[in-house]
């Protein structure tokens, strides 16, 4: 998830000022299409219906996303061995493979929509930041794959009632690492999950905040890991989802200590800032400033 939900169990003090949230009006053709999408008589927008059909036709491991008319699972036979053998060869799976992973692990269409849409936005932000840089040492394909997969562990936190377990949310990174490792993906990719929370979690953070994680450092090390972690801070999967400015996130993260503010400041200097006003308008989502 985005930055607001990523930084652990601590809550703001009672008097802490909350960032001001403004709703950016939906503008442009995309926003108009979105409005029209939600007026279809089936109760699902055209894109959602399309995705539902794709989910049904592709199937997922362990979770029945839809059923055929006879009540049996509509999922086709699935070769886990072949899938793992294929993924093991991928250091940077393409967008289609990452999407297939989401579809396989999402417990519901709603969860898929929330997590995958956010992941696509994180990639868009990271891509914008990459495009603004002159040095091109960063592995673009790896950033894309990391962006699209970093939150896959969130699916494990949905209960049978469809609700997210917010108390254990901080575990989603580690859970995502486990999912990708079980899928046969390399450590290089797994680390995007376990090392993107907040601006990095240290062993001291885990112990002092009594986080439900094995005591260890969960820190972004490579430039690719840092970029995905940073891009993630500008969008949140809250209901409804929203964008955040860099100042809004800096205000938020200040409750976790000056060292976290300093770490975020360094990331801002390193990667610059995305145009979140334009992004919020494009996606028709709120912006916290
Ligand atoms: Fe995220």
The residue extents of the domains of the chain are 3-30+47-64+84-288
pLDDT at 136: 72
**Mean pLDDT, range 227-231, rounded to an integer:** 98
Percent of the chain with pLDDT over 90: 65
**91 pLDDT tier (thresholds 50, 70, 90):** low
108 CA → ligand 1 middle, Å = 18
| pLDDT(4) > 60 | no
Ligand 1 centroid from CA 22, angstroms: 21
On average, the pLDDT of the chain sits at 78
- Among 241, 252, 255, smallest CA distance to 285 is for 241
CA-nearest of 105, 104, 142, 102 to 126 is: 142
Span 243-284, pLDDT tens digits: 999 999 999 999 999 999 999 999 999 999 999 999 999 999
CA of 1 from ligand 1 middle (Å) equals 3
Q: Quick one: pLDDT at residue 212?
A: 97
How confident is residue 76, by pLDDT bands cut at 50, 70 and 90?
very low
Number of CB atoms found within 10 A of residue 240's CB? 10
pTM of the model: 0.72
Q: 282: CA distance to ligand 1 center in Å?
A: 19
């Amino acid at each position: 998830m985005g930055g607001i939900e990523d930084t652990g169990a601590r809550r703001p003090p009672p008097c802490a000022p909350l960032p001001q949230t403004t709703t950016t009006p939906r503008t442009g053709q995309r926003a108009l299409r979105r409005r029209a999408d939600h007026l279809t008589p089936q109760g699902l927008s055209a894109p959602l219906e399309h995705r539902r059909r794709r989910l049904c036709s592709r199937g997922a491991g362990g979770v029945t996303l839809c059923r055929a008319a006879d009540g049996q699972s509509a999922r086709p036979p699935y070769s886990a061995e072949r899938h793992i053998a294929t993924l093991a060869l991928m250091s940077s799976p393409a967008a289609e493979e990452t999407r297939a992973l989401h579809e396989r692990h999402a417990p519901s269409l709603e969860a898929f929509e929330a997590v995958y849409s956010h992941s696509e936005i994180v990639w868009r932000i990271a891509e914008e930041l990459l495009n603004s840089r002159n040095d091109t040492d960063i592995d673009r394909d790896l950033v894309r794959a990391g962006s699209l997969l970093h939150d896959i562990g969130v699916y494990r936190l949905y209960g049978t009632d469809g609700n997210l377990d917010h108390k254990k949310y901080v575990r989603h990174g580690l859970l995502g690492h486990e999912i990708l490792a079980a899928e046969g993906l390399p450590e290089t990719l797994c680390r995007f999950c376990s090392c993107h929370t907040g601006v990095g979690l240290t062993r001291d953070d885990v112990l002092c905040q009594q986080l439900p994680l094995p005591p260890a450092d969960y820190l972004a090390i490579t430039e690719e890991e840092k970029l995905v972690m940073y891009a993630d801070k500008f969008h949140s999967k809250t209901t409804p989802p929203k964008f955040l400015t860099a100042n809004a996130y800096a205000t938020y993260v200040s409750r976790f200590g000056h060292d976290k503010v300093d770490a975020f400041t360094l990331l801002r200097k390193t990667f610059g800032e995305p145009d979140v006003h334009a992004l919020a308008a494009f996606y028709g989502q709120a912006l916290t400033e």
